[in-house]
Amino acid sequence: MSFKTLDHVDVKGKRILVRVDLNVPVENGVVTDSTRIERIAPALRELADRDAKVILLSHFGRPKGRDPQQSLKPVAFEVAHVIKRPVKFVDDCIGEAAEKAVAAMKQGDIICLENTRFYPGEEKNDPAFVAALAKLGDIWVNDAFSAAHRAHASTEGLGHLLPAYAGRSLQAELEAFEKVLDKPQRPLAAIVGGAKISTKLDLLGHLLQKVDVLIIGGAMANTFLMAQGRKVGKSLVEKDLAATASKIMHDAIAAKREIVLPVDAVVAEKLEANVATRVVDIDKVGDNDMILDIGPRSVAYAISVLARSKTLVWNGPFGAFETQPFDTGTIEVAEAAAELTAAGKLTTVAGGGDTVAALNVAGVVDRFTYVSTAGGAFLEWLEGKALPGVEVLKT
C-alpha cells in the first residue's frame, strides 16, 4: 500500500487527531447500530495503549450550524461502552473549550470532540477551520473510510497540515478492496442489486471493465428485462433508462463479459409482508404482478456462478429484502457465498447502502472476507473514483 499506517509512527505522548465516522444511527438518544464503532475500537485501544493522547473527530448527520439534536454526545457515550474505556466528551471541536480539554489530557486518555459539521468550515474545507483543528494535534490519523468521499476539513484538509496516517479500519478496508478490484483472483464476479439503475450507471460501467461476470438483481434488473422486451407487469422500472440498459448489455457482450439476469421471479400483487406470492418464469410475469425477488432457478444459477468464481464483490440486495418473504433470494445467495468463503474457495467483499443491512438479515457478515460499513464511499470506490480522504494519505 502506498500510504503510512500506525506501524510507521511513534505516537507516545503525541496528540493524535483521529478522524472516525461516528455517523451512526441514533434513536431517542441511543445508538441503535454500533458496527462502525466496533470497527474503530481496535485502533482506538491501540493508540491509547501506545500512550498517545487520542482526540476523536467526526461529523454526525447533516446539521445546518450548531444543533443540540445532532450532538455527538450520546455517540461518545457508546464509544466508551464499546471500547470499555472512559471517553471524555467536549462540547466544541475548536476554540477555547477544545484547546483546554486537549491541554489537560494525559497519555492514554481519549476525548471526543463535538460534531465538526456544527461549523460550515468543515464541509467547505475552509483553511481557517482546518488550522483551528490542526492546532489541537500533532498527527492526523484517518480511520473513516466511509467519509473518505468527502473533501472536508477533518476528512481531507488536515492531511495537508499534519503528518497523515491511515487508521487500522481504513487500512483493513483498503487492503480488502485491493484483493477485489485491483489484484483479484479470477474469475471475478459482481452482484449488483438495488432499486435503480440511474444511481448506479457509473458503477455498472466501471465494474463491467473489471469483472468476468456481472449478476444483476433488485428492481434494477426489471429495467434490463424490459429492455429485452419482456413484460414486467406492475414492477418498479425506469422506463426512460431502457435504452441505457440495452447499451450496457450490448457493451458487455462486445467486451466478452457475462451479464446474468433473473430467469424466474417471485411475484405478488403488492409489496406487503406475507402477501400471497407465486414463482413464475421470467417471461410469464402477469399484468398485475410485481417482481419482488429472484426465483429459485435464478438463485441456483447465481450460486453456480459463485462456485466457479474466486472473487466476489457485492453491492445491493436481490429483492425487496426488508419485507418477508422477499429476502429469500438474498439470504440464500449470501449463505452460499459465506460457505464458499469459509471453505477458502471465494474471497467475498460487500458494502454500500442497504447491503450491510441485507447481509445482516442473512446473518453472514462475520463470514464474508470483508463487509464495508461505508455507503457512498463504497459506491464511489466501485465507480473507480479517487476518494479525497484516501488520496491525501498517499505518500
Q: Which residue has the cell 467483499?
A: 349
C-alpha distances in angstroms, 144 versus 36, 71, 272, 302?
9, 18, 37, 33
Half-sphere exposure of 55 toward its Cβ, with a 13 Å CA cutoff?
A: 33
Residue 143 lies near ligand 3PG (rule: CB under 6 A): no
* Exposed/middle/buried for residue 300 (C-beta within 10 Å: 0-12, 13-18, 19+): middle
Verify binding: residue 388, ligand 3PG, rule CB under 6 A.
no
Position among 3, 17, 23, 298 found at the interface with ligand 3PG (CB under 6 A): 23
Sheet holding 188-192, edge to edge: 258-260, 213-216, 188-192, 311-315, 347-350, 370-371
The residue annotated as part of the active site, out of 121, 157, 353, 375, is 353
Q: State which of residues 19, 21, 299, 387 lies at the interface with ligand 3PG (CB under 6 A).
A: 21
Which partner in Mg ion, ligand 3PG, none is near 62 (CB below 5 to 8 A by kind)?
Answer: ligand 3PG
> Is residue 39 at the binding interface for ligand 3PG, with CB under 6 A as the rule?
no
Residue 23's binding partner among ligand 3PG, Mg ion, none (Cβ under 5 to 8 angstroms by kind) is: ligand 3PG
Stretch that binds ligand 3PG, among 143-151, 193-201, 217-225, 356-364 (CB under 6 A): 143-151
Among residues 116, 146, 311, 330, the one that binds ligand 3PG under rule CB under 6 A: 146
Q: Is 173 in the site for ligand 3PG (CB under 6 A)?
A: no
Q: Is residue 376 within the footprint of ligand 3PG (CB under 6 A)?
A: yes
Q: How far is the CB of 147 from ligand 3PG (least distance, A)?
A: 5
84-112 in b/e form (b: 16+ CB < 10 A) is ebebebbbbbbeeebeebbeebeebbbbb
Q: Verify whether residue 353 is a known catalytic residue.
A: yes
Is 308 designated active site?
no
Tell me how far, at minimum, the Cβ of 67 lies from ligand 3PG, in Å: 14
The count of residues interacting with ligand 3PG (CB under 6 A) is: 8
Say whether residue 147 binds ligand 3PG (CB under 6 A): yes
217 is catalytic: no
> Whose CA is closest to 169, among 147, 185, 136, 151?
147
Active site (annotated) includes residue 376: yes
| Residues contacting 51, CB < 8 A, separation 6+ | 11, 12, 13, 107, 108
Among 14, 39, 50, 150, binds ligand 3PG (CB under 6 A): 150
115 binds, options Mg ion, ligand 3PG, none, Cβ within 5 to 8 A by partner type: none
Kindly tell me which residue out of 167, 375, 388, 389 binds Mg ion, with binding defined by CB under 5 A. Answer: 375
Q: What x-and-dash track marks residues 100-139 binding ligand 3PG by CB under 6 A?
A: ----------------------------------------
Give the up-direction half-sphere exposure of residue 45: CA atoms within 13 A in the CB hemisphere.
Answer: 14
Exposed, middle or buried by CB within 10 Å (0-12, 13-18, 19+), for 355? buried
Nearer to Mg ion, 5 or 155 (CB): 155
Stretch in the footprint of ligand 3PG (CB under 6 A) among 77-85, 86-94, 145-153, 231-239? 145-153
Q: Which of 4, 196, 297, 310 is labelled catalytic?
A: 196
Least separation, in Å, of the C-beta of 61 and ligand 3PG? 7
Task: Report if residue 376 touches Mg ion, rule: CB under 5 A.
Answer: yes
CA angle 135, 132, 39 (to 5 degrees): 80
Torsion of CA 242, 243, 249, 254, to 10 degrees: 180
Catalytic residues: 36, 196, 353, 376
